[in-house]
């Protein structure tokens, strides 16, 4: 009944988006497709697509969800009115957001393990 859909943009959809836009987009998709799913660039691509696709507002019984994540993402990219350069900028911003979060997370884990943090 339902197509393959997830709660948020799944990394397995990335290579399926290769021919959705121009050359710069294809290069980005080709590069990200080769990365492990937990690589910051892969996470940033997923984050960018989550924002673009509106994954947080997607309901499992909606028409969009029933069509699946690949069809939704392709349609979103077709309907995107901006240029490929604007998509690259959105990707860059998402990558900065992921990297900032990862740096903050690393510091928190270090502080949790520090003996002085437990004594305080």
What range does the domain containing 55 cover?
11-119
3 lies in some domain:
no
82 lies in some domain:
yes
Tally of structural domains, the chain: 1
Q: What is the pLDDT of residue 65?
A: 74
6 lies in some domain:
no
CA distances from 88 to 15, 52, 92, 117, 120 (A): 16, 13, 6, 41, 45
Q: Which of 3, 10, 4, 84 is nearest to 46 (CA)?
A: 10
Distance CA 48, CA 51 (A): 5
In total, the chain counts a number of residues equal to: 120
63 lies in some domain:
yes
107 lies in some domain:
yes
Distance CA 96, CA 15 (A): 22
57 lies in some domain:
yes
1 lies in some domain:
no
5 lies in some domain:
no
CA distances from 15 to 1, 57, 73, 76 (A): 24, 24, 12, 15
Distance CA 42, CA 14 (A): 9
Its pTM stands at: 0.79
One digit per residue, pLDDT tens: the chain, 120 residues? 445 556 688 899 999 999 999 999 999 999 999 999 999 999 999 999 999 988 778 877 777 777 788 999 999 999 999 999 999 999 999 999 999 998 887 666 666 666 654 554
Q: What is the pLDDT of residue 1?
A: 43
Note whether 22 and 84 are within 8 A (CB): yes
């Amino acid at each position: 009944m339902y197509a393959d859909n997830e709660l948020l943009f799944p990394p397995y959809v990335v290579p399926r988006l290769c021919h959705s836009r121009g050359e710069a987009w294809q290069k980005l998709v080709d590069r990200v497709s080769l990365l492990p799913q937990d690589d910051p660039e892969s996470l940033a691509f997923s984050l960018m697509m989550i924002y673009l696709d509106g994954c947080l507002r997607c309901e499992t019984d909606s028409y969009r969800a029933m069509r699946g994540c690949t069809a939704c993402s392709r349609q979103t990219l077709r309907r995107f009115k901006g240029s490929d350069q604007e998509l690259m900028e959105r990707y860059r911003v998402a990558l900065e957001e992921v990297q900032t979060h990862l740096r903050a997370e690393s510091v928190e884990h270090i502080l949790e393990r520090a003996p002085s943090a437990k004594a305080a």
